[in-house]
Amino acid sequence: MSTQYTTAAVLAALHFDAAGLVPAIAQQHDTGEVLMLAWMNADAVAETLATGRGCYFSRSRGRLWRKGETSGQVQRLVELRVDCDGDAVLLRVDQTGVACHTGRRSCFFRAAREEGLVEIMAPEVDEAVLYGARHTPEAPDAG
């Protein structure tokens, strides 16, 4: 998907935090729908650019996490953007299936309303179908 020069330029533009991470927002490329927020380290950025598939860093597992590796709900990278300060990335993706480990299309399924925090999106797929009855879902910190 990218050349070594593109990857080097992106990595040089990013300002990783003390833990070596930057927040990464995944957005459906054709609708603008915000799907999830996860974290990326330099290896995750490089792999995403090299393979064209969403790869993140799971803070709870302490390792790279390839979106869809257990659920099959993969993200094909359309475009990676770096924000003005270099401290966040936007991945414009083509999401296969649901993005959230709860079985919802988006991890942003709760909205602050006058009556409190309200669920505005029902699950489309049962977690047991995505991950199997005995399998731990993909890291909650990376939907």
Distance CA 86, CA 89 (A): 8
Confidence at residue 143, expressed as pLDDT on a 0 to 100 scale: 44
What pLDDT, in 10s, does the model give residues 52-102?
999 999 999 999 999 999 889 999 999 999 999 999 999 999 999 999 999
pLDDT tier at 135, thresholds 50, 70, 90: low
Distance CA 59, CA 76 (A): 22
At 115, give phi and psi (nearest 5°): -85, 0
CATH number where 138 lies: 3.10.20.810
Q: Which residue range is the domain that position 86 belongs to?
A: 4-142
Confidence at residue 119, expressed as pLDDT on a 0 to 100 scale: 97
- Rounded to an integer, the average pLDDT of 129-143 is 60
At 10, give phi and psi (nearest 5°): -65, -50
| 27: β partners | 34, 92
| 111: β partners | 118
Distance CA 109, CA 88 (A): 22
Tell me: pLDDT of 142 over 50.
no
Total number of domains constituting the chain: 1
pLDDT tier at 138, thresholds 50, 70, 90: low
Task: Using a pLDDT cut of 90, give the percent of the chain over it.
Answer: 83
**C-beta of residue 50 within 8 angstroms of C-beta of residue 1:** yes
Confidence at residue 41, expressed as pLDDT on a 0 to 100 scale: 98
- Rounded to an integer, the average pLDDT of 124-136 is 78
3-state secondary structure 67-131: CCCCCCCCEEEEEEEECCCCCCEEEEEEECCCCCCCCCCCCCCEEEECCEEEECCCCCCCHHHHH
- Per DSSP, the three-state class of 39 is strand
